Amino acid sequence: MTTLTLVSTTRLSSGHLMPLLGFGVYQNYTTRDSVLEAFKAGYRHVDSAQAYRNEAHVGEAVRDSGIPREELFITTKIISKFHGYESTLKGVDESLARFQFDYIDLFLIHDPFAGRERRLATYKALQEAKDAGKCVLTISLLTPDSGVKHLEEIRNAGLPMPSVNQIELHPFCQQRPIVAYCRAHSIVVQAYCPILRGKLDDATIAAIATKYGRDPAQILLRWSLQKGFVPLPKSANPTRIHSNTHLYDFELAEEDVAALDALDEGKDGALSWNPVDAMEFVLLAWLLDPRFVSASTASATPSSMDARSAPIDWVLLPPCEFELEIVSASRNNSIHVILQGSQQLQNCKALRDI
């Protein structure tokens, strides 16, 4: 395979270059310091989001670093409450103001909760912002965590396909169908949760780490790179931030990549919530105790949902209106329900797809 380095990039379908290793930031009071430490370690790619309220801290770190803006690749994501054409344009302006940037390299759609019409309107608005050079460095805009269905909506609407799709990816959750679709359409796949929280002591991973004299996190990140993904590890620990970049002086043998590939558990191996399925958690919580869920906004409180699967928009931010198509899991009795604004939730027993 091609020799990789910390400054290696991948060329997107738009023609632009994106660093192969990114640094993810979440809701953390150490965001500024963590990003500065990441820059010291050699990262030049930072993944942020409106929902995580970290854009201003990332912008501050960029200015304080002294690194020219054009040498950095900064991503953010449009939150649910801005889905729709005009509201998306407003959301772009607000992100720019928080970052204090003239442009953002990559703007993702954070979730597919708006329903088909508003999903496409959001995507069109981001394309317009890109074409205007207002907020995106002429890069196609993306739909993180999108399933094939959502990408097909874009293609069938005759719109330019996205350059990137960001999904949870690691040996236990390899999402092979969507990865295959993305590769067939020249869509680069970014991997969030590339380091397995709570599974770093897996026997296979531990054995491979011992073989190469590496820690488990480095093995997982190297696997991600060799699979052709763009991993986005997170950390607020300076030592870990640096060690997560020590990936380029070894290469996993084919048999070790195959051993990690064999760990795939499909959907059951996911560590975080997937917006394609997240509404199931909300409505099941509502069925168990309607007091925890607002039927007018389909939002949930932290006590009604497992923290691992709770959509961050619903738990930590004001409720927002959206519409969803919910399809029951029953093969013999598919129920299609549209939820919009104050329309009451329907008492569905099993739900599958957004």
The token duo for 196 is 């397995």
Burial group, residue 116, by CB count within 10 angstroms (0-12, 13-18, 19+)? middle
What type of residue sits at position 144? P
For 291, residues 6+ apart whose C-beta sits below 8 A from its C-beta are none
Angle between helices 116-131 and 85-99 (to 10 degrees): 50
For 119, residues 6+ apart whose C-beta sits below 8 A from its C-beta are 83, 109, 112, 143, 150, 153
Q: Check: CB of residue 281 under 8 Å from CB of residue 152.
A: no
| Number of separate helices (H) and strands (E) present in the chain | 12, 13
First vs last C-alpha separation in the chain: 38
Among residues 43, 52, 123, 181, the one annotated as catalytic is 52
Q: Determine the Cα–Cα distance for residues 305 and 156; give it in Å rounded to an integer.
A: 35
For this structure, is 52 an active site residue?
yes
Helix (H) / strand (E) element for 126: namely helix 116-131
Question: Count of CB atoms within 10 A of residue 17's CB?
Answer: 12
The token duo for 141 is 């805009």
Q: Determine the Cα–Cα distance for residues 130 and 124; give it in Å rounded to an integer.
A: 10
* Count of CA atoms in the C-beta half-sphere (13 A) of 207: 8
Burial group, residue 70, by CB count within 10 angstroms (0-12, 13-18, 19+)? exposed
Kindly list the catalytic residues: 52
